[in-house]
Structures are given as C-alpha cells and as structure tokens.
Structure 1
C-alpha cells in the first residue's frame, strides 16, 4: 500500500461508534458468545449433554419429553414442559425453543436448529466464560487507506454456489447476486469478490486474505452500503468483522466462495479474538 493517509476526526468518530455498536451486539444475552454445545438429534429419545429431558427426531419433526422437575419452560410462552412437545423447522431455520437454569429459570436457552436437513441443538448459556470475560474484539487501528472505491456488477439472476461452513458436517450455499470489483493500492490486478444481498439493497462479502490464521481469523466479512445508481460502491475494510465461529467452536458459519480471496494482508478491521 502507498504512504498512510491520516484519518479525519469525523471518520475516526464514526468508526468508534461502529465499534461500540458491534461490541454491544456481541455481548447480548443468549447471543453468539454464549454458545456452549452443538449436538445432533437421534431417532431414539436420548439424553443430551448439558440439557435436561429426552430429545429425538423422526427426520421431519423434533421432539422433547420432560417432566416438570426438569425445570424446562417454553421460551415463547413460559409454559412448563411436562410430557412431550414438538417443533418443525425448514433447513437453515432456528428456534429458541426452551430454557432452564439460574435464579429466573432463563440462564440457558436451548436453540433448535435445522442444518444440512438434520436437527441439532445448541445451548446458549449466559454464564459462559466467553461472554462473562468479554472485553471487546481486538482490531487494527482505523486506516482511511482501507476505505476503497469500487463497483458492483450485478448478475441477471442470483447464482447459488455450494460452499463449506465452520462445521465440516454442514454444507452451505452462497447466493451470489453479483461481484464487487476494486483495486487495492499497490496491487496491479483487479479484485473480484462474490457478494450476497442484504436488507435495503446492501451487500455482504465474505473473504479470505493473507493475514488469516496469523493476526485475523480464517475468514471475515464486510458489509457494503447499497450501490449507487451507477454501480459504484465504497468498501470500508475497517468494518471487516469476524463470524461467530471465530468466538465459538459451535457455529455453522459460511465460508467464502472459492476464489473470494485477496492476495494481500488486509490489515484493517477485526483481529483474532482474545483467548
């Protein structure tokens, strides 16, 4: 990269507000920092680690059998689970289903999830040391050199691209709506990265770079505001963030599309979380 550019006070203040919001979002109750297990359901009613009751699936529906003494209640209604309850999800859907533990009976939420067309449980424990010990995500210093102008080249129709995820037993699909094209200062060739659609016309780009596994996680993502009418976009890599799988081994986060890589060190945005 060329000689560093000095950030203005306004740029730095906007970035500080972004970082504060990011930390608040991560540190929410029953959020990504509270995951303590990921377990597949079996066809026979079985006990699961960390969770009361007997759990099973017939392939299309999940079942939970428990007694009042197990202390489980339904998250949505607060009703005590006594007997058998059931739920049905579509692939990639999740349900914060039941809760238990703590003084209020709500310390742990059990999330029912359908991944790779199979049912799984994830426990979300507000007592997790990942949450209680959280002091923020390390980042690079803000650098205006990593605020890059580019363009978005939309596809005529979205293209579904098979991808891997943070869980080797779960495959994923990236719905590419086009490519973000830009140049990194000091690098001769253009970079092309597949993008997914977000709300209000924004884009989401998941990428590898040469810093991965050293100062940053194995991959990160950056959100890009809605392209202008001429297709131009601003990619602010200072806002590159980690997926939940950087903080927990129980995520099923999507990996980048093959080739969504920058052959430079993107020394901007979030670094590896502290142990």
Structure 2
C-alpha cells in the first residue's frame, strides 16, 4: 500500500507512518516542561556578587586561576547567595537556599540548579551553564507564551525523494573546526569525523558535507540551504544512523531530509546553538523537514 504526497510522489505507507510518529515525538519533546520553549533570558555572571534580571538572590562567578602543585587548572565556581524570603529552592532536592551555595561545571555543561515562583514554587527553573569558559544563567518559565501557545512545528509535506543514500568518508582521526554559534559572544567547535557525499533532487552535482559523531556512531550534519531565511530558519540539522560498511571497504549512510529539524535557537533568542562549518552549505532549496516556527 502507498500514499500519494502533495508533491505528487508516492510514499510507502510504512515510511509515511514512521515519519508521522517521528513528528509527533519531536513536538512532544519540544513541549516538555521547562524545555527549550520556556527560555526567557540569558545572562552572564559577573566576578562580584550582583543582582540579575528575573531571578532573586546575588550571583557571581569566582575563583578563576591555576592550582599550584597539582598540575591542573582550578575551575571557576558559580556562586549564589539567597535568603529564604527569596523563595529559591534546589531543583534536585527541593531544599530552600539559605545562605551561599556553589556549583562547578565544565565547558558546555549545564545544571538545572534552582527554582522559584508559582503555587508549587517551581514555575521558573534557573539553568546554570558554562559556555566559552564563562558562567551564565538561563531562566526557564513554564508560563512563557512561546511554550503555552505551542501547537507543533510547521513542516514541508513528507516526500520520499528527500531520503537519499550517501557515501561516508571517515577521517583518520576527528578534526576540531572552530565555528560560530547563535550567540555572537560564544565560540564553538565542530568535531568533524568525516564527510557525507550525496546528490539531491534537482541538483546536477554532488554535495560534500562535514559530519559530527553522536551516540552509538550516529551522525549529525548541520547545514545551510537556499530556503534559509525564506521558509526555514537560518540553518538546520539532520541526523543519520551509524554508517553501514560495504564489502569494498566503503561506508553507506542514509540522510532523510524529511527529518531535518531546527536547533533550539530557532525558537528562542537565548540559545547558544552551533552554526554549520564554513563549507556545509547547499546551493539548492531543501524543501523538506521543519520550517520556520514563527513565519512572518
């Protein structure tokens, strides 16, 4: 059995149903409590204790320096001082913050640290994040209109032509490539493990994009295309299962652009999402996957 898509192509029902389940799970994940849709601020912490917007207490980042004799670098410490009347409690235990507490994170780590507000005291969660060697906090408000009014991400109709078989060419060793992120004050690194080589519908030439490795050997490809800024956000990503080895020693991987998704920065100005590496641009319109969540 097959189904005719709006593009006039015929899609096997099983593939269409799998894509529909993927979309339902994707929207459900985005709508999770205190998820990406609830972000309402991003603020760097200063060296000295100071008040910050939207959150009670005094916040700072202290202790950057070198540890003598141990051969290791002392990590910067995030510090929060509050009194019970501030209404802050620890997310993990529910314990009231009364006095000074600290936390230490490695770069790119995050911690859902404290919470406050609302009848149960958990309307707003404060996320502590280490980005580019600096501490920042992000507020996640369960009553953010972006979250409460969310009704799913608009997408292009499913089209089986956008599922392509690619050749994966692994590098001898991963290569770290400096990149920009959605926050101009935060630099990023793309750990490239190889390149995917493929053709797309309507394009006369091959494309070659750099890929990162995820859990269990899966790949993620972050890319620009000609729909960006028109019907889609400024960049998107597509994930693929672990490449399959072939008898001749080559590797094959399937890229399904119907499953191309937005980074969180498409939904909020408070993300630090990675941009594509310089060469990961497609000079064609990839009319598949997620569109801009908030078109003009």
**What is the DSSP-based 3-state SS (H/G/I as helix, E as strand, rest coil) of the residue aligned with 1:111?**
strand
Flag structure 2 segments of 5+ consecutive residues without an equivalent. 1-6, 65-75
Runs of at least 4 residues of structure 1 off by over 2 A? none
Q: Deviation at 1:177? A: 0.4
Partner of 1:26: 30
Q: Which residue of 1 aligns with 2:9?
A: 5
Is 2:276 the partner of 1:260?
no
Which of 100, 108, 118 is matched with 1:102 structurally?
A: 118
Alpha-carbon distance, 1:44 to partner: 1.4
Work out which of the residue numbers 256, 262, 268 in structure 2 matches 1:248.
268
Distance 1:262 1:145 in 2: 16
- Contact 1:4–1:145 (CA<8 Å) still a contact in 2? no
The alpha-carbon deviation at position 4 of structure 1 amounts to 5.2
Q: Which residue of 1 is the match for residue 170 of structure 2?
A: 154
Query: What TM-score, normalized to structure 2?
Result: 0.91
Residue 69 of structure 1: how far off its partner (Å)? 0.4
Mapping for residues 1-275 of structure 1, pairs under 5 Å: 5-58=9-62, 59=64, 60-230=76-246, 231-274=251-294
Deviation of residue 187 (structure 1)? 1.8
Q: TM-score, normalised by structure 1?
A: 0.97
Distance in 1 of aligned mates of 2:118 and 2:153:
27
3-state SS of 2:10 partner: coil
What is the rounded CA distance, in whole Å, between the counterparts of 1:6 and 1:91 in structure 2?
Answer: 47
Separation of aligned partners in 2, 1:57 and 1:109? 19
For 2:67, the equivalent position in structure 1 comes to: none
Deviations 1:139-183 (A, max 9, x none): 000001100111111011000000000000000000000001101
What displacement does 1:188 show? 2.2
State the alpha-carbon separation in 2 of the partners of residues 186 and 142 from structure 1.
17
Give the aligned CA root-mean-square deviation in angstroms. Answer: 1.0
Unaligned runs of 5+ in 1: none
Distance (whole Å) between structure 2 residues aligned to residue 40 and residue 18 of structure 1? 36
Number of residues of Structure 1 aligned to a counterpart in Structure 2:
273
Rounded Cα–Cα distance in structure 2 between residues aligned with 1:137 and 1:186 = 26
CA distance in 1, matches of 2:165, 2:19: 17
Instruction: Supply the distance in 2 between the matched residues of 1:47 and 1:54 (Cα, whole angstroms).
Output: 5
Q: Deviations over 1:197-230 (max 9, x none)?
A: 0111110000000000000000000000111112
Shift of 1:264: 0.3
